[in-house]
Every structure is written in structure tokens, then in C-alpha cells.
Amino acid sequence: MSLLKKLAPICFAVLLMLPSVSSAASTVTTDKPTPRPITVNINGAFISTDANPFIQAGRVMVPVRTLASLGLNYTWDAKKHTAIITNSANETFRMIQGERTAYKNGKPVLMDSEANNYNDRMMVPAKFVSEAFGYNVNYEKTRGILFIQSKNFTPDDNVLNSSDLKLARLAAISLPINYSFKPDPKAESDKSQYYTYTFASNDATRYTYSNGNVTTVVEIKNEIAEAVWQFIDADIPGYNTKTLGGTKPDYISDMYNDSFNYNNGSYIGYYRLSDGTLKTFKYKGNNYGDIIQSIPQ
């Protein structure tokens, strides 16, 4: 079956869910879009934060409490407006609100952005502070995900290949996407309140991710997520596509059997029966990873 025929029912169902095709695109192209909160993934797990991370002067700022998920402890001195972060080796990192100069083990260091208070939450530059304690930090613009990983962190191959399809798919989307080509800026999801993941039936090793305008096809090999193709729907009514990077894989027509969609707070899934019938189901979620669900039996 051709890609166009495979895409047609999924696209039609998604269009019914959205106000219009143009409105889906407008979430990406409007001059003043509603910013989409940055998602944080620490050592392969999506975490919830008590305040939304944001980008300031090109730096991702996160609530200082987020660092507790790294095994770091912190104290806050309200009188001195100072946060002190400590790891298990008793190394310390002291930051003063509004100042770029911090102190690691008592020695001054210049941060790339000052820590500050936003709506009663201490926000700190994620990359600088995390790397000060030996963590690797990577902000993936395609999906708006901040990945923080321990130096010795490796994805669990048993989980990625688990017979529990929901668990395996969640592990797959928890890997940062790598590119052998330059990703297109239109693929970035920081301004989109809509995104969707699709998979082939009974498969977690390949998926597509779309922000409503651009779709990225990803393969999982040797615990690494690699983008193999990125394309844009150049003409929605005819389902024509325009390649933005990579090469169209020959299996693309199989990738639209299980679909998980998020649109401005609402979740809806689609799956295809063996006879080709398309089924839908709605569900709720509180965490980014909740978008991946078990397909109803």
C-alpha cells in the first residue's frame, strides 16, 4: 500500500481533532505563539518540574529543585538569596540570586547566565550547573527536550527490547535524536502545542515525530536514536511531501499503524486493526512520557 493511502486515514482523523489544517500550522509559524514548556529527561526518565524550564539568552533555565533528580541536594538561604547545591562527594556549588559569579568548592566561577528568581522559583542555567558536577547535558531542539545524563549512564537494552511494547516505546523516545544531516528549523517544537508519535505495529525500534508541520523519522540501533529522514507536508490535500533532510526509508508506509497525539492538553491515540479498521481512544497524562500508551486489546 502506498504512503499516501496509509497516511490518509490517520491525517483525516488528526484533522478532525484539530480546528483546521491552517490552525495546526499556525501553532508553528505564528509571530507570537504560546511557548511550549521544555521537557526534562534525566538518565532516560521524563521528570515533572515545579516550574516550566525556559530559554534565556540561549541558555536553558531549570528550577533548582530539578537537580534533586540527579542525586544532588540543595539548600536555600532566603536572607542571603543564596542556593547551595551539594553532591554525594560533598562538593558544593553556591549561587547568589541575580549574580553570574558562583562558587564551586569555595572558588569563584563565572556562569554563562545568572541564577534568578521567577515566580518564587529559583531558576539556574541547567548546562553549566549540571556539567559542574560531571553530568552531560544536551538540549534537543526538535522535540524541545533537555537531556541530562550521568557520565556513566547507558540506556538499558533490556528495556528497549522489552516485550512490554509501551515500556520499549517509552524508552525509545527517551533517547536524544542524533542527526547525520542538519535538522530543519521548521522541525523545532518549542512553539508548537501539538505533537505526535507514530509507530509500526508491534514495533519500538522506529518511530516518526511530527510537530504539525515537519515529520522526523527515527531509527533505534545499538541504543542510539538516529534521524534518517525529515520531511514536510508540502500539500496536505494531496499528501505530497518535501524532503528536508536524509532519505525516505522503504518501510515508511508501515509507520502509521499506532499513533499517539498531544494537542494543547488533550491526548488521543489511533491504532489499526488487522482488517485495516482505524480505531481511536482518548486518555489523560500528566508527564511528557504519558503520551505513549498500551494499545487497547
Domains of the chain: 3-37+155-291 (no CATH), 45-149 (3.30.457.10)
DSSP 8-class letter at 29 = H
Is the pLDDT at 4 greater than 50? The verdict is: no
Whether the Cβ atoms of residue 133 and residue 72 lie closer than 8 Å to each other: yes
Of the CA atoms within 13 Å of residue 103, those in its CB half-sphere come to 9
| pLDDT of the residue at 234 | 59
pLDDT digits (tens, 9 = 90+) for 182-235: 999 999 887 678 899 999 999 999 999 999 889 999 999 999 999 999 998 655
Q: Is the pLDDT of residue 19 over 80?
A: no
- Sequence-distant (≥ 6) Cβ neighbours of residue 69 within 8 angstroms: 40, 42, 47
Give CB contacts under 8 A, 24+ apart, made by 125-130: 125/59, 125/60, 125/61, 126/40, 126/53, 126/59, 126/60, 126/61, 126/62, 126/66, 127/59, 127/60, 128/59, 129/67, 129/85, 129/93, 129/95, 130/67, 130/70
The model's pLDDT over 130-153, given as tens digits with 9 standing for 90+, comes to: 888 889 999 999 999 999 998 888
Give residue 239's pLDDT: 58
Question: What are the grid coordinates assigned to 49, written together?
Answer: 518540574
278 forms beta bridges with: 272
Q: What is the pTM of this model?
A: 0.82
Q: How far apart are the first and last CA of the chain?
A: 25
Q: Distance between CA atoms of 22 and 169, rounded to whole angstroms? A: 30
Residue 26 per-residue DSSP state: H
Query: Given this model, what pLDDT does residue 79 score?
Result: 87
CA 155 to chain centroid, in Å, comes to 16
